[in-house]
Amino acid sequence: MAHYDFDMPVTEQQIRQLKVNETVTLNGTLFGIRDATYIHMFDRGRKARFDMRGHAVIHTAPNVRKVEKSAEYPAGYAPICIGTTTSARMERFTRPLMEQYGVRITIGKGGLGKASQDAFRDLGGVYLAIVGGAAALETTWIEQIEDVDLDDLNPESLWKFRVRGFGPLLVSMDSHGGSLYTQVAQNSQGRRAAALAALGVKSQA
């Protein structure tokens, strides 16, 4: 399977070439976003000040330490532990984030659904799976918290990280209708009857 190293931001062409089961490693800018950030941006009309065109977002709310602003800590935050949250709760925000901010990559765990799959196809986007719960390792890929917006929502602020060697991440939803989550769910549903039979369940409604 092909592996790609991306210096952020990326073009639509770079995204369209990706297929499920390939891997990607990111360098440069990565934005952190999650529930409250999305809710305030898309349900409460707040505008984020970052230019996120061609960029990647990761579903996260980090552990940080508040410090004096400096060259090392330009946002006044030192990273402690940065990991990834379950993406499914943010499903309805994938399309507006892509349409209004031009984001092309969503990184998360557990996958997204049909609405996001359609947005990836229509607008040129992908979902990259990171291993959830492996935050200590993930933190070693983060060089700096460069900036932060909507920080009244802390820890659910809109974070701007600088990353190096962020990956490998698995392309688990592509812009061609491919989704490993759909494949696995279909396969698992297909095994349900056999599992219930092995348990001696008689009526399998």
Partner 1 sequence: MRVDLKQVEEACKELYIRALKLLPPDIKQGFSQLDARETDPTGKAILGTMIRNIKVAEDTNNLLCQDTGIPIYNVAIGSNVEVDGYGLKLAIAKGCERATREHPVRSSVVHPTTRVNEHTSCGRSVPVINIDFVPDAQTLTIEMIPKGSGSENNSWLKMAIPADGIDAIKTFVIDCVLEAGGKTCPPTIVGVGVGGTADLCVHLSKVAATRPLGTQCDDPEGARLEAQLTTAVNQLGVGPQGLGGDCTSFAVHVETAATHITMNPVAVNMQCHSARRARATFTPQGLSYGF
- Residues lying near partner 1 in the complex (CB under 8 A) are found at 21, 36, 60-65, 80-86, 88-89, 109-111, 129, 131-137, 139-140, 154-155, 170, 172, 180-181, 183-185, 187-189, 191-192, 194-196, 198-205
Which residue, 2 or 136, is less far from partner 1 as judged by CB?
136
Which residue, 16 or 89, is less far from partner 1 as judged by CB?
89
What sign has the CA pseudo-torsion 56, 94, 153, 128? negative
Closest distance to partner 1 from the beta carbon of 25 (Å): 14
Closest distance to partner 1 from the beta carbon of 139 (Å): 6
Q: Maximum CA pair distance of the chain?
A: 67
Closest distance to partner 1 from the beta carbon of 77 (Å): 11
Kind of pairing, strands 105-108 and 126-129? Answer: parallel
* Nearest alpha-carbon partner for 105 in 2, 198, 32, 196: 32
The secondary structure element, H or E, covering residue 12 is helix 12-16
Count the Cβ atoms, other than its own, within 10 Å of residue 162. 17
Which residue, 115 or 185, is less far from partner 1 as judged by CB?
185
What is the three-class DSSP state of 204? Answer: coil
Closest distance to partner 1 from the beta carbon of 174 (Å): 14
